[in-house]
Amino acid sequence: MSLEKTNALIDHLDKDFAGADTRISPETTAATTRLIAEDEEAAKEWAYLQRAVDAVQQAGLYQQVASARQQWESQAESAAETQQQDHPPAEAPAAGMVRNLYRNMMRAAAVILVLLAGGAIFKYVRLSSSSLYSEYYSSYELNTSRGAAGQDSIDQAYTARNWNEVLTLSADAKTSSNKMEFLAGMADLELKKFDDAIAHFEQVIASNTHSGQDYFEDEAEYYLAMSWLAKRKVNEAMPILEKIKANKDHLYHDKVEKMSFTDLRLVQYKENK
């Protein structure tokens, strides 16, 4: 492609930008449009030029968002410092320790897998996300002493296993609470509406982050993992289950610890195949 034609394509590309060359006549514009439509080489060059402009715009957007992120992080840092001065936090476990623990668990799991190869093949055929879900899922029992005094209507509907009523009450409520979101998620889970259940559980987690509370957090995390298993998405369930297993204070730690992570990894391998 001649330099002249390429430059004509660039002028054509520039016409919607503020820096465009205003001396380009309508006749030239029409001729370039025809060139792109009729000449294969020109059409190809045109596509490359458009993608090049896309690259410039992507890089510009990245720069702009990165700068906003930087400002946000420095703001958050100073807010955290102020909070730390007022309330020094309890010491958290080092991230490296958690990673080492994870690596060691992986190594151990690998050795066990080799030793139990025969058993694993049998399991391999039998196992699936949904079989694990059926094995590990148990309905959530509502602890009525946890909420306000006395059972309210959503508690009663939940205890009566009237799942549709739970969903109606939750949808009609003027103000939502974590408990209501969680119970709606459980009702969806019981009705096998897994996508809706996931949305409710994620909402509980997000709302806690926003408010700084942990109301129904542990429950939402555990049943979020269960929902992913039910949806046959073990990849999504695994990080949550590993997080629960690593946290001894988690309400569902003991329950998750009893799960067979070998089985879970076998399913992960099988379903990613």
Partner 1 sequence: MKVAEKYTDAELTSAISSGKDLDPAIHFLYRQYSEAIRSFIMSYGGNEQDADDVFQETVIAFIDCVKKGKYRQESSVKTFLASVARHIWFNDLKKKERAGIREKKYESARDQQEKDISHQIGDVEQRRQLRELLTQLGEPCHKLLHLFYYENLPMKEIVEHLPYENEQVVRNKKYKCLQQLTGLLKANPALAGQLNELIK
Q: How many CA atoms lie within 13 A of 202 on its CB side?
A: 10
Tell me how far, at minimum, the Cβ of 53 lies from partner 1, in Å.
Answer: 5
Q: Which two tokens stand for residue 201?
A: 């559980």
The region of 15-23, 83-91, 150-158, 257-265 touching partner 1 under the rule CB under 8 A is: 15-23
* Binds partner 1 (CB under 8 A): choice among 37, 206, 213, 254: 206
Tell me how far, at minimum, the Cβ of 132 lies from partner 1, in Å.
Answer: 16
Nearer to partner 1, 165 or 173 (CB): 173
Closest CA relative to residue 103, chosen from 222, 229, 221, 242: 242
Burial of 22 from C-beta contacts in 10 A (0-12 / 13-18 / 19+): exposed
| DSSP string for residues in 198-242 | HHHHHHHHHHHHHHT--TTHHHHHHHHHHHHHHTT-HHHHHHHHH
- Here's the x/- map for partner 1, 136-175, by CB under 8 A: it reads as ----------------------------------------
- Which residues contact partner 1 (rule: CB under 8 A)? 6-7, 10, 14, 17-19, 21, 43-45, 47-49, 51-66, 68-69, 71-73, 75, 95, 195, 199, 202, 205-210, 221, 224, 231, 233, 235-236, 238-240, 242-243, 271-273
